[in-house]
Every structure is written in C-alpha cells, then in structure tokens.
Amino acid sequence: MRLAALLMLLTAGCATPPDVPPTYRFDNGLWFNGRTFASATAYVADGALHFSDDVIAAETVVDLDGGYVVPPYCEGHNHNLGGGADGVEETVQAYLKDGVFYAMMPGSFALYRGLIADKLNNPKSIDVAFANNGLTGSGGHPRALRESVMERFERYPDFTKETLPDKGYFEAETLEQLRGKWALILAERPDFVKVMLYFSEEYEQRKSDPEYYGKRGLNPSFMPELVRLAHDAGLRVAVHVESDADMATALRAGAGADIIAHLPSNDSTARISDETIALVKETNPTLITTLSVAKRKFEKRSPELYADIREAQRENLTRLTDAAANLVVGSDTHWDTSQEEARYLVSLGPLDNRAILKMWTQNCARTVFPERKIGRLAEGYEASFLVLEGDPLADFENTSRIFLRVKDGALLEIENE
Ligand SMILES: [Zn+2]
C-alpha cells in the first residue's frame, strides 16, 4: 500500500542538472531520535540530512505518510564477502533488501577483496570494512576451518593447502615472527586487524598437541605488542575469543583491544567474570554479539544444552547492559544478514526493542566506519535511512516491513515481495 504513496512523488518544476544530486524533502515521517519517534520534515541535499523549520527548495517531495524512519541496519560480523569472487551481487541484494547497508568482515582474503571491490562501497551497494586475514598461532584457528572448507566445499579455488599460509591466515609463534607477519598484514591495507585467542588460558597445553590443531590461537603474551603495533598504525584490533579468560586477556593488552568479535557465550555456557566486566567498564570496547550461533549449532542437536546456553547469554547480556557496554549486533552466520541475529536477541528477553535497534544501527555503524557520520538521523549526517510501515519499538517485526530505502542521498530501488 505504501508503495502507492511513493508513486505519487510530487516533482516540482525545476529540473536538476544531471551531475548534481537531487534535493529531497520528506514530509509526514516519524524520525527515530535514539529514544523515540518524533514527527519532522527532513531535507536531503548533497547526500546529507537536514532538519529545518525553514522551507528549503526541493526538487522532489516525498510523502512518508506516517512511516517510521530508522537508520540503516548493520552487520557487525560476517564472512560472506571476501571469501570468494562469486555470488557477490546476490549477497549485496540480500543485505539491501533486509535494510542492512553496512557490514564488517573480520577475516577475508585480500585477493578476493580486491576482485570484488568494484561491487561494494558505492551508493547502490553496501559499505563494507575488511580485516583481511587473521593472525593466529602455529596450527591455530582458522587454519583447520579454511582447509576443511576448501576440501569439502571446493572454496578458495585460487589456493591450495600449501599456498594458504599468509593468504588465508597469518601464523606467528615468536615475537620476531609476529613482527614479520605484521609487515605482511600492513601491506594488505586492512580496515582493521583481526587476531585469534582460543582458550588462551590453555595456550601452553594446546600449542603443540595435535588434538588441538585448529583449536588454538596466538600466544596471549604477544597481545600487548600486537595492540601497540596496530594502534601505532592507526588500526583497531578485533579479537576472536572463546573463553572469558580470552576476553580479559584482550582487554588487558596494552591500551586494550578495541573490538571483541564474539561474546564468549555464543556457543557455550561461559559466564563473563566480574574481572572482565570491570575491564569492559574501564576500556569501553565494542562487543559483537553473534549469539544466534548457539541456535544454529545446538537448537536441534542438543536442546538441553541450547537452553542452558540461552540462560548464560541472558545473564551475560544483562550484566553487560548494566555495565553500559557498547554492544553491537553481528551474526557470524553466512546466510544471515544480521536480521536473524537481531530477532534472536529479541527472543532472549533481557534487552528491549529500543536497545536492540540502537545496537543494530547506531552502535554498529560507528563500529564499521568510526570516521563517518552514520547510524543516526541527525543534522548533517549521511542521508541513508529506511522507512518502516509500523513502529519497531512496539513490534520488532516492523523492522522488516521496509517500504523505502534511501542510501547516500538517493532512493534505492529494491524489489519488495
Ligand atoms: Zn567469524
């Protein structure tokens, strides 16, 4: 029904020269201000949002007909771009259709990132930040995963098991090796850096035991040096963690890791300790949820364990919220765009719709591109937003009832069912 309103765009007389972006006025919208929805007239000029009581001349007037305007959604953790050269258009369309305009890829191949670069980061696509390859210990995660995905699904056709090192992962077992790999990491020009901790409290026991091939990470004592190298280069550090001890190690390293790429309870009943909560308060890292991983792994296979994990997730989320942690929605699930993760968070209970909406928009957008004015509907911010049929604070399902998408100051044309 709302599409009919769109077809009735009132176009005023003055034609725009072809190289100047059109100016829009949006009437009768309810705009999310971080707390609630407030009625406003908004203008879009030169790709930026303006809220003015004075009437600004606009070529095109759009009647939003009481629609609810929210910032675009955002995926804080996925690997569905940068792991190959095929299927990029489909992935991008799935993101745009779900209203997800920004995504973070903590772990990808520099080769594939280069091959698909022209299909991303433009007004008609999504904007993506890549870490390229992650840094780990010898025989550490994600080596075994890369090798098995290559064998089972015939992925990474440009590589063999023998050519994966330094292309699909970086391994360092000494500080000297770490500095050598650091030069390679920088040469690939990542948007941020990814490093693996994997039950670092058992690092010594796991490091040369074949049982733990692919189930170990970087020597935790290297973390302060890695954080220092990254911060000196102006790069943020995102850490893969498995345990509460990993999370504490990451936050204690030098100035502290910037991003924790998973909550420890994403696939276990791990509780976040008082010490780690104190570190979160002290260093204010970004914490990516990826909690629906538990559903994918355990809902059918082990319902009792799944129920216990959900209980741990509720406790952890409640305590992190009480600590004012910067939580961000991220799925770490190939076929998700983060929409399923957001719904999963709703299903857990402790967070209200407003908190999840902020984690999915504002918190996430400024994590993916900290230097950009995105993720909020405020004066001078980039003109990217979604218009919903109904109030998402009253019913979260309304987040997927999108009737208009605007990206970089222009209306996006996406097929609605
Ligand atoms: Zn991941």
Question: Ligand 1 center to residue 232 CA distance, Å?
Answer: 25
The confidence score (pLDDT) of residue 19 equals: 58
Complete domains list, the chain, with CATH: 2-71+376-411 (2.30.40.10), 73-368 (3.20.20.140)
- 48 CA to centre of ligand 1 in angstroms: 33
Supply the pLDDT for residue 20: 62
Cα(415) to centroid(ligand 1), Å: 30
Say what the pLDDT of residue 312 is. 97
Is 261's pLDDT higher than 80? yes
* pTM given for the model: 0.94
The Cα 359–Cα 351 span in angstroms is 10
pLDDT value at residue 209 = 94
pLDDT digits (tens, 9 = 90+) for 186-215: 999 999 999 999 999 999 999 999 999 999
Give me the mean pLDDT over the 363-384 stretch. 97
CA of 274 to the centre of ligand 1 (A): 26
Specify the pLDDT at position 6: 52
Instruction: Give the Å distance between the CA of 331 and the centre of ligand 1.
Output: 8
Kindly report, residue by residue over 284-301, the tens digit of the pLDDT: 999 999 999 999 999 999
CA distance 130 to 230: 15
- The whole-number pLDDT of residue 8 equals 47
- Closest to 117 in 3D by CA, of 220, 42, 191, 228: 191
Q: In angstroms, what is the span from residue 330 Cα to ligand 1's centroid? A: 9
For residue 105, report the distance from its CA to the centre of ligand 1, in Å: 8
The pair of three-digit structure tokens given for residue 385, joined into one six-digit string = 């937003």
Residue 323 Cα to ligand 1 midpoint, Å, equals: 25
**76 Cα to the center of ligand 1, angstroms:** 10
* pLDDT tens sequence across 20-32: 667 999 999 999 9
Distance 332 CA to ligand 1 centre (A): 5
- Alpha carbon of 281 to ligand 1 centroid (Å): 25
**Distance from residue 24's CA to the centre of ligand 1 (Å):** 39
- CA 188, 229, 215, 277 torsion: positive or negative? negative
pLDDT band at 12 (very low <50, low <70, confident <90, very high): very low
Angstrom distance (rounded) from CA 358 to CA 377: 12
- pLDDT of 4 reads 45
**Per-residue pLDDT tens over the stretch 354-372:** 999 999 999 999 999 999 9
Is residue 52 pLDDT above 80, yes or no? no
CB proximity list for 182: less than 8 A, separation 6 or greater: 226, 229
Q: pLDDT for 144-178, tens place per residue? A: 899 999 999 888 989 999 999 999 999 999 999 99
Q: What is the pLDDT of residue 21?
A: 64
- Tell me how far the alpha carbon of residue 303 lies from the centroid of ligand 1, in angstroms: 23
Mean pLDDT, range 48-59, rounded to an integer: 83
What is the average pLDDT score of the chain? 93
> Among all chains, which residue has been given the structure tokens 């999915």?
360
Average pLDDT on 295-323 reads 97
pLDDT at residue 5 is higher than 90? no
Phi (first) and psi of residue 196, to 5 degrees: -105, 125
Q: pLDDT at position 2, please?
A: 56
The CA 64 to ligand 1 mean position distance, Å, reads 38
3-state secondary structure of 406: strand
pLDDT beyond 90 at 1 = no
- β-strand 37-45 against 48-51: which pairing, if any? antiparallel
The string of pLDDT tens digits covering residues 100-152 is 999 999 999 999 999 999 999 999 999 999 999 999 999 999 998 999 999 99
How many residues would you count in the chain?
417
The pLDDT-based confidence of 53 (bands split at 50, 70, 90) is confident
